[in-house]
Structures are given as structure tokens and as C-alpha cells.
Chain A
């Protein structure tokens, strides 16, 4: 467990709170009443079998998926406020700036250089002067070890480098919480560590993070709390030591038996 968890207890208002989240795609109910609360500086890992709704939950936090029922709160603001039309559009665009998201497939903008990828948000959305945005991007790229790639195009980068740029791009908006959806599962095995390392560094800086992952070892190293999801519900949650060494539920045990082996 890392230092952030001690920090987290100090503030009792959760940074992220999901209340009774329900989501259906057509006739299929994918989220069946999820509750989740993440304190400032806390790191929560979400694990579970394919199709259990992990991505859907993560994506509903920044409203890439609209919940059918339930509430999402981030940094004291309700994300899925019952607004419509233009008012909602404005609300969601501003609240999304508080959340960074990192995707499995990086989704860097291929027509922009690395530097432009990182600065486009601060310049266009936060109206940051170009020179300051450049400094910020340089600092963040330095942090992920890619300062020398400032002028390169994404097509020139390895998967691990792309993902580190994607993390820098998200950080450039100075978010209150970072969401990771299987950030390393599209990477060649030898490139996984360089991305994990960056995430660990963020953890040590008390970034609030929600991490969907299938890497049990990484989850146990970095997370303060682990959520095991299956069939659209949270089956079990607790500190990694409990979930991984001493799970209470049969479903958790069966899942872990399959996944800890590898």
C-alpha cells in the first residue's frame, strides 16, 4: 500500500462517488446498481472477467456512457446532472476537464505532434498562452521520459511511448482524477513496465486514480482498494491484501485462480 492512503483518510468528502449506477444496452443490463467511492489521493483498481462492466463503469464516470439510473459525482460536482441540450453540453465539457482518461488504444491524435497532442487541451480549453503550454508539456513529457519526442508524430512511437504521451496529454489538463481503462493491455509485454512505472509515480504523487486492469500483480502493488466486478455488480471489495490472499466470495476465488496463475 502506498503513502496516499494515509493522506486520503484526512478528507472525508469522496473525490469520486458513484451511487446506484444502472446501465443497459438494449435489453442487457450491464451495470446493476454499482456504488463506488474514491477519496482524494486514493487508488482503486477494478478487476473482473471480460464483459463484467468494468469499462462501462469507468466510462460512465466521465459520461462517455450515460447512466439509465444513478448518480456520478466528481470533485463535488454531479457529472450526470439532469440538464438538457446546450446547458448539459457546457456542463459536461467543463466537468470533463477535471478528469483525465487513458484508453487501451492510446487514441493519440495522429495528425498532431507529441507536443501538440499535449498542448492542444491547455491552449484551446484553458486558454493557456502557447509558451506556457509548451513549458507545461515539456515538464510532463519529462516526467514520462519523452521530452526528446516533443516534435515527433505519434506514428513514430512505440506503443509504450504512445501510452506515456497519452498520460501526459491527460495530465496537461491538471485533472483531479485519472481514469485508466486497461492502459497496458494493448502493449507488447516488454513495454508494459514503462507505463506501469509512470502510473506508480503518479500514485506516489497522490493522484486520485481509478484503474481498470487485468494485471493482478500491478493492482496489488499500486492500489489502496480493489473492486472485483462480475455480472454488473461489485462482488467484493477491499484492500489488495484481503482480495488477493483471502477473498471471501467464491466468484472472486474462481476468477483469481484463473488469473493469478499467469
Chain B
């Protein structure tokens, strides 16, 4: 193992890791927003909204994320959507993970005992108030773990954007192979950095879970 090489390339990889982190945070924010909207649709009383929500989730979960990114980045310009690689990556990943997160949110909301809703409704609370005052505070706690799992999958999934020429950690690693011919060392460095990110993320999730979901 060429540890010297690993030390030399490390600073470049750190910079690339920042791109991966930025991309992760942006697509996480977008994903959570999409998920909240889709969840509202899926729990709506209006059949059309429910159908849209269900269709969205099955499309996003039923096709490879890579294909979704290609459609957005390569196919986009054909229908007048011109995005930079980074923007296409963030939007594509966010929309994709949003579908999974919507499942997590819906699962958590449905896991709150029906008796809670009934108790609120018989007091005279509307559907909306019941959701806001009684169901969501309880569901939020149940969501932390599954959303954390999704967030970890998202960080790992960001590697896909290297295929649409976003200069992220994976893309940077590939670029260095040509000049060094040491793929083992190079990908090992990339793997260590991914692991560090995911370790940090899982610590955050643990903290949130302990802080809000205990008891």
C-alpha cells in the first residue's frame, strides 16, 4: 500500500468530500420537503391528490435512481430544462429520496394509534388540528430512525452523480486513477471519507433519537 500517495491525494479528496456534503445537505432538504408534500397528498381526503402521491412514490421507487438522474440531466435540455451537473444532481437525488422519505413519514403517521385521532376528534378538533396537535408530535418521534436510514442511503447514493460529471468524491477518485494507476489506494481514501461522513450522520441521528424519541 502506498501510504505516501494516500497522504498526498488526501487534501484534494477533502475538497471533493465537501462537494458531496453540500450535495447531500441540499438534496436532504429538498427530499424532506418533497416527502412532506407527498405525505400530505397521500393522506388527503381528495382521491386525485392521493393518486398523484402514490404515482410519484411508485415511479421514484420503481426506477433506478441513475436513470432518473440521466433523464433529468441528459434528457432535460430536450424539453427545455438546462441544469448544471450539480443542480441536476441535487434535484434528482432530492426527488428520489423524497419518495422513500414519504414512505417513512406515512408509516410513522399511520403507526400513531387511531385512538389518538378519535380522542382529538371527539373533543371537537378538526382533521388538520388533530394532525398538528396530536398526531404529528407523536409521529415525528417515530420518523427519526427511518428518516435517518434514508439519509444514510442518500449520502451513499450521491456517488451516482459522478456519472453526470459532478466533481464529487467518487468522480475525483476516478480522475486520479489515470495519473497514478493505484485504484486500491485511491478508492480506499474515498471509502474512508464516505465512512467518516456516514459515521457523523449516524451520530446526529442517534442524538436526535435520544433527545426527542426517548420515553
Q: Which of A8-16, A26-34, A119-127, A234-242 contacts B (4 or more CB under 8 A)?
A: A119-127
**Option from B115, B133, B137 in Cβ contact (under 8 Å) with A124:** B133
Q: How far is the CA of A120 from the CA of B129 in the complex (A)?
A: 11
Interface string of B118-152 (1 = CB under 8 A from A): 11111111110100011001100000000000000
A101 to chain B minimum Cβ distance, whole angstroms, is 4
Query: Shortest CB–CB separation between residue A106 and chain B, in angstroms?
Result: 8
Q: Which residue of A has the minimal Cβ distance to B130?
A: A93
The CA-CA distance from A110 to B129 in the complex, in Å, is: 17
Nearest residue, chain B, Cβ from A64? B118
A252 on the B face (CB < 8 A): no
Find chain A residues with CB under 8 A from B118 CB. Answer: 64, 103, 107
Complex interface residues of chain A between 22 and 77 (CB less than 8 A to chain B): 62, 64
The answer to whether B137 and A111 have CB atoms under 8 Å apart is: yes
A93 and B116 contact, CB distance less than 8 A: no
Decide if A155 is an interface residue (CB 8 Å cutoff). yes
Residues of chain B lying within 8 A (CB to CB) of residue A204: none
Q: Does B1 contact A (CB under 8 A)?
A: no
Per the bound structure, the CA–CA distance linking A169 and B113 in Å amounts to 18
Q: Which of A77-123 contact B (CB under 8 A)?
A: 89, 93-94, 96-97, 99-101, 103, 105, 107-111, 120-121
Q: Are A93 and B124 in contact (CB under 8 A)?
A: yes
Which residues of A have CB within 8 Å of B115?
103, 105, 107
- Asked if B215 CB lies within 8 Å of chain A CBs, one says yes
Q: Does A168 contact B (CB under 8 A)?
A: no
Determine if B123 and A109 form an interchain contact, defined as CB atoms under 8 angstroms apart.
no
Complex partner residue of A109 from B122, B126, B129, B134, CB under 8 angstroms: B134
> Are B138 and A110 touching (Cβ within 8 A)?
yes
A101 touches B122 (CB 8 A): yes
Chain A CB within 10 Å, residue with most, of B119, B129, B137, B215: B119
CB within 8 A of B123: which of A89, A110, A111, A169? A169
A103 touches B119 (CB 8 A): yes
Taking CB atoms, residues of chain B closer than 8 Å to A233 are: none
B129 contacts across to A, CB distance below 8 A: 124
With A107-B113, A111-B137 as known contacts, state yes or no: A121 contacts B124, CB within 8 Å: yes
Whole-angstrom distance between the alpha carbons of A127 and B116 in the complex? 22
Pairwise interchain contact B124-A96, C-beta atoms closer than 8 A: yes
B residues within 8 A CB of A109?
A: 116, 119-120, 134
Contacts of A166 in B (CB 8 A): 119
A173 interfacial contact with B, CB 8 Å: yes
Residues of A within 8 A of B215 (CB): 153, 155
C-alpha gap A107/B112 in the complex (Å): 11
A107, B123: Cβ atoms closer than 8 Å:
no
Question: Can you give 17 A-B contacts (C-beta < 8 A)?
Answer: A64-B118, A89-B126, A93-B125, A101-B122, A103-B115, A107-B113, A107-B115, A107-B116, A107-B118, A108-B119, A109-B134, A111-B138, A120-B123, A120-B133, A121-B123, A124-B125, A173-B123
Closest CB pairs A-B (n = 9): A107-B119, A97-B124, A107-B115, A101-B122, A121-B123, A96-B124, A111-B137, A93-B124, A125-B124
Known: A89-B127, A93-B124, A93-B125. 7 other contacts (CB 8 A): A97-B124, A103-B115, A108-B119, A111-B138, A120-B123, A124-B125, A124-B133
